[in-house]
């Protein structure tokens, strides 16, 4: 059984003990599946380059659809990364999103869905980057899993210690504002990894589309934990 299958089996076995990542009421809250690919004709290069306008578009989309959060993005081939040279490379620009985004307001609490320890953390303070980032390490049955939380508030890093125990649904952070989260409309980048090598406080959240098959071997679908579907309303753990 490969690592992703082991993870899926563990989650299915222990589903009642898997916690939330953000506050969410399945009976009443609605989630909007945000499409940030070229197929979304509402997104122009000018719009995504203007952070304030991009944020207003997200807020209006959620409000018009009466949704608490916007969600989605795993292995999505996005156009929005033209807004930062951070994603440009000589041979092929990075446009493949490797995690799931949960779009909402600054200050929203973020929780650990599994028990673990603080592996590492850093403020990746560059335009287009994660900003404050936390990586947790989880010891599952026969498997080590890492979870990454990006675009956090700077206060989220205060007092953290490597190796610090984290219980399930322990609040680990809050979402950052545009001035501290890498210059993005407020959202959480949530990503799972099976191996992160010697990475500390950072791990790529966007990769080359040509390397998708390699990423799929190491980066499971976060929906294994979130248990969401692309519909309105959406029910699940979140």
- Look at 29 and 109; give whichever has higher pLDDT: 109
| Per-residue pLDDT, 93 | 77
What pLDDT band is residue 230 in, cutting at 50, 70 and 90?
low
pTM comes to 0.92
150-169 per-position pLDDT tens digit:
999 999 999 999 999 999 99
Q: Is residue 30 part of a domain?
A: yes
Q: Is residue 225 part of a domain?
A: no
Q: How far apart (Å, rounded) are the C-alpha atoms in residues 98 and 139?
A: 22
Q: Is residue 234 part of a domain?
A: no
| Per-residue pLDDT, 21 | 96
Q: How far apart (Å, rounded) are the C-alpha atoms in residues 121 and 230?
A: 31
192-228 per-position pLDDT tens digit:
999 999 999 999 999 888 889 999 999 999 998 887 7
Place of tokens 């799972």: 192
Averaged pLDDT for residues 89-98: 76
| Per-residue pLDDT, 45 | 81
Which three-class secondary structure state does DSSP give residue 226? helix
Task: Tell me whether the omega of the peptide bond preceding residue 233 falls within 30 degrees of 0, making it cis.
Answer: yes
**pLDDT at 71 > cutoff 80:** yes
Q: Is residue 129 part of a domain?
A: yes
| Per-residue pLDDT, 5 | 79
Alpha helices in the chain (DSSP H): 3-13, 45-49, 51-64, 212-218, 223-226
Angle at 203 between CA 197 and CA 205, to 5 degrees: 140
The overall average pLDDT reported for the chain is 88
The residue range of the domain holding 59 is: 3-219
The CATH number of whichever domain residue 23 belongs to comes to 2.70.70.10
| Per-residue pLDDT, 134 | 98
| Per-residue pLDDT, 131 | 97
Number of domains making up the chain: 1
Instruction: Name the residue among 190, 194, 199 with its Cα closest to residue 219.
Output: 194
Q: Is residue 227 part of a domain?
A: no
**pLDDT at 85 > cutoff 60:** no
Q: Is residue 232 part of a domain?
A: no
What pLDDT band is residue 92 in, cutting at 50, 70 and 90?
low
Q: Is residue 235 part of a domain?
A: no
Q: Is residue 178 part of a domain?
A: yes
């Amino acid at each position: 059984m490969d690592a992703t299958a082991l993870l899926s089996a563990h989650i299915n076995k222990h589903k009642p003990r898997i916690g939330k990542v953000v506050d969410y009421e399945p009976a009443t809250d609605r989630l909007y599946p945000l499409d940030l690919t070229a197929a979304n004709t509402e997104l122009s290069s000018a719009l995504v380059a203007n952070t304030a306008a991009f944020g207003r578009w997200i807020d209006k989309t959620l409000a018009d659809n009466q949704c608490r959060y916007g969600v989605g993005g795993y292995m999505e081939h996005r156009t929005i990364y033209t807004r930062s040279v951070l994603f440009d490379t000589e041979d092929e620009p990075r446009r493949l999103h490797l995690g799931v985004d949960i779009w909402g307001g600054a200050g929203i609490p973020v929780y650990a869905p599994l028990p673990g320890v603080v592996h590492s953390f850093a403020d990746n303070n560059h335009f287009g980057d994660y900003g404050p980032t936390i990586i947790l390490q989880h010891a599952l049955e026969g498997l080590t899993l890492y979870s990454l939380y990006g675009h956090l508030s700077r206060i989220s890093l205060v007092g953290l210690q490597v190796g610090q125990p984290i219980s399930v649904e322990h609040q680990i952070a809050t979402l950052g504002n545009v001035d501290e989260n890498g210059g993005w409309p407020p959202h959480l980048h949530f990503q799972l990894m099976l191996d992160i090598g010697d990475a500390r406080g950072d791990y790529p959240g966007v990769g080359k589309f040509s390397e998708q098959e390699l990423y799929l071997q190491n980066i499971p679908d976060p929906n294994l934990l979130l248990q969401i579907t692309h519909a309105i309303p959406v029910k699940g753990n979140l």
